[in-house]
Amino acid sequence: MKQIILKLNELRRGKNTFQVSSTAQELELEDIEYPIVGSIDTDIEVYRNRNNYEIKLRTRFTFHLTCSRCLTEFDREFQDTGAFYLKKGEVPDIPEGMIKDEHVETLYVSGDEYDLAPIIREQVLLSIPMKPLCSDSCTVPSYDSGVDEMDSRWADLIKLKEKLM
Ligand SMILES: [Zn+2]
């Protein structure tokens, strides 16, 4: 997998912004449930305060999906945003029971480089929809109920619909 290295020493104090574009192949996302169309684009924002870094990632990409109801194939763009803190140094010993949310979201790095690729890959994986729908109103047409009670004028339309599908 390719690396997307953040060079901590080279970041200026305050806000730093970057854009990075990856392919599904580079992030080992070729064999997931739905193929990715085009590139995976990430906006990276790092706010540096001494050796503390607040990192925000906004990743955009398009899945080629299959509707779980009508089986229509369609492309849909997704966006995932995430934020975490990065600190240089060893993981502090936090007594059990003292762990707060702020500690869970803080990652520690010993060197001067941090690879963002696994985090971006995770953003894509967590966005895979369980039951994609081509539209909110998508329904599976049902022919076995209520057809007899239907106005006969609908019959031709139903046949036409069957041909189109
Ligand atoms: Zn559908």
Mean pLDDT split into 10-residue runs, the chain, 165 residues = 95 97 98 97 96 95 96 97 90 66 73 95 96 90 56 62 64
pLDDT score for 110: 87
For residue 131, report the distance from its CA to the centre of ligand 1, in Å: 10
Could you tell me which of 27, 38, 23, 34 has the C-alpha nearest to residue 64?
34
pLDDT digit string, tens, across residues 20-66: 999 999 999 999 999 999 999 999 999 999 889 999 999 999 999 99
Question: Exposed e or buried b for every residue in 116-151, given b needs 16+ CB within 10 A?
Answer: bbebbbebbeeeeeeebbbeeeeeeeeeeeeeeeee
pLDDT score for 142: 62
d(CA 97, CA 51): 26
Q: Which two tokens stand for residue 68?
A: 């779980």
Q: Point out which residues pair with 95 in neighbouring strands.
A: none
pLDDT score for 106: 87
**Contact present, 47 and 140 (Cβ < 8 Å):** no
pLDDT score for 139: 82
For residue 141, report the distance from its CA to the centre of ligand 1, in Å: 10
For residue 165, report the distance from its CA to the centre of ligand 1, in Å: 11
For residue 140, report the distance from its CA to the centre of ligand 1, in Å: 8
**Dihedral (CA of 93, 6, 48, 84) sign:** negative
For residue 29, report the distance from its CA to the centre of ligand 1, in Å: 25
Could you tell me which of 135, 142, 140, 116 has the C-alpha nearest to residue 22?
116
**Contact present, 120 and 23 (Cβ < 8 Å):** no
Q: Which two tokens stand for residue 66?
A: 């299959």
